[in-house]
Amino acid sequence: MKMNPVYKREMMVSARSLRMSLIITVFNSILAVVALLNMYSNVVQVRITADVQYGSFLDLYEFVACVEFIMLMFIMPAITSGTISGERERQTLDLMLTTKMKSWEIVTGKLAAAFVTMFLVVISSFPVIAMVFVYGGITWGNVAQMMACYVVSALFAGSLGICCSSLFKRSTVATVAAYAVLALTVAGTFAVNMFSYSMARMDLNTAAYVMGNMGGVTVNSGGFLYTLLVNPAVTFLVILQKNAPASTTGILQSYGSREPGLVMNHWVLVSMAVQLALSALFFLIAVKTVRKKGIGRNA
């Protein structure tokens, strides 16, 4: 099977650079130091109080999981948003389009190289996560589900970045656009649900004041809750809540109680499917735009 030439070139450049080795070393060193300090503080507490707080050991898992997720969401757009636009700025995109490579091969190679590089950093931190297994509370299934969330989130953020990179000529503009869309997806959906839930509670309080007791009435953010399906942060928090329910507040319950249903009962799977569909859409837009703008420049 022939390897994608763009992917092969990007990986060769990354392998010969010291930057990736330094990133992995520094990142895992910080995580290891924090993990060892956390374990040491728990051991000291047991010696003093003779009381083992197993819930505190989950703090280590939550810390590592949150750091890795934040890293994926912030670094993936930065890596991919300059891939196509960078080639255009160096005036090498037209040369790539004159070869036998198709547009989807160029976009796939760029996205795959960024994804593999980022996922390598995540996988390298697995020994730190495995420290939690010493005390229990986290199973292999929990870790596998979290890894699946990382994969989907990385594809979502990476596809968004490469889509913006193909739409804009300048890498700076593409990066700003990618982060703006990502912020709108993450913070915007939270804000919409918070506003809708606040308005619903205000209306209920007003009705209760005018009509009397309104006990038993369900208040929630309405259909806006389903906008959170496109939010990778919500998927991550729901998984984290299932893994460590004692120390994490239910994010979906923050916007009112709801009747069980297909989406509510399988929120993680549905949200991952929605985000994968959006990733495919971003990928198709990038493929179409690369060829179209390349032809435009040659014309």
| Structure token digits, residue 113 | 């190289």
Residues 212 and 167: beta-carbon distance below 8 Å: no
pLDDT at 215 over 60: no
**Percentage with pLDDT > 90 across the chain:** 20
Round the average pLDDT of the chain to a whole number and report it. Answer: 81
| Structure token digits, residue 112 | 């795959």
The phi, psi pair for 261, rounded to 5°, reads: -155, -175
What digits encode the pLDDT tens for the residues 14-56? 777 787 788 788 888 887 887 788 778 877 877 887 776 666 6
Residue type, 73: M
Radius of gyration of the chain measured on its C-alpha atoms: 23
What is the reported pLDDT for 248? 45
CA dihedral 97→98→101→106, nearest 10 degrees, is -20
For residues 162-182, give the mean pLDDT: 92
Range with lowest mean pLDDT among 181-190, 210-219, 234-243, 255-264: 210-219
Give the three-class secondary structure for 111: helix
| Structure token digits, residue 252 | 């979906």
pLDDT at 174 over 90: yes
Strand stretches in the chain, DSSP E? none
What DSSP string describes 187-247? IIHHHHHHHHHHHHHHHHHHHHHHHS--TT-----GGGGGGGGG-HHHHHHHHHHHHSTTT
What is the reported pLDDT for 296? 46
The domain ranges of the chain are 5-298
What is the reported pLDDT for 208? 54
What is the reported pLDDT for 299? 35
For residues 250-269, give the mean pLDDT: 75
pLDDT at 138 over 70: yes
What is the reported pLDDT for 240? 85
For residues 146-172, give the mean pLDDT: 91
For residues 107-127, give the mean pLDDT: 86
DSSP, res 299: -
What is the reported pLDDT for 198? 82
| Structure token digits, residue 68 | 């890795």
